[in-house]
Structure 1
Amino acid sequence: MYRLDISRLREIAARHGDASPAAIARRTEIAESSVYRILSGRSQPDLISALRLAKTYRTTVEELMELVQADAERVPA
């Protein structure tokens, strides 16, 4: 399973001068409320938003995502 790597997105956005959620929203044309939810970890970007983030910041969707192990796949300690 994949999820957005929030710290990576923040780092890439900051390199483009977008240090705040409002700046990310303006540049990507993603609703500001959605950007706040995404950056707080309360939601994941939909495909269109992920593509907008990648295109805007000249990267790939794969670069913005991280592979995480699903709960069902975890082996008990």
Structure 2
Amino acid sequence: MPVLRLNRAALIKHARRHGDESAAAISRTTGVPESTLSALLSGQRAPAMPTLVALASPYGLASDDLLKVRP
């Protein structure tokens, strides 16, 4: 069954365009705790919708821009 995961590359690409070069900077910009961000970036956790919105909004993205499907 397919699993939704955070599209790490898309988040990092857009964060860097906005000057956020580290997980700490992304956390400050989005309000998502670093521990949650770390779990999402490593694939240990699937993103919840409120978290996706928090990660996407500051970078001008839609939530689905940060999703990818893993088989």
Provide the TM-score with structure 1 as the length reference.
Answer: 0.79
Aligned to 2:57, which of 55, 58, 66? Answer: 55
CA deviation vs aligned residue, 1:11-64 (integer Å, no higher than 9, x gap): 111111111111010010111111111112211221111011111111101111
Between the two proteins, the alignment pairs up a number of residues equal to 69
State the percentage of identical aligned residues.
35
Q: Match for residue 5 of structure 2?
A: 3
Q: Is the 8 A contact 2:24 2:34 kept in 1?
A: yes
**Partner of residue 30, structure 1:** 32
Contact persistence 1:5–1:64 (CA under 8 A)? yes
Larger Rg: 1
Does the 8 Å contact 2:6/2:41 carry over to 1?
A: no
SS of equivalent residue, structure 1 residue 18: coil
4+ long deviations beyond 6 Å:
none
SS across alignment from 1:66: strand
Q: TM-score, normalised by structure 2?
A: 0.84
1:45 partner amino acid: P
Gaps of 5+ in 1: 70-77
Structure 2, unaligned runs of 5 or more = none
- With CA pairs under 8 Å and 6+ residues apart, which has the higher RCO, 1 or 2? 2
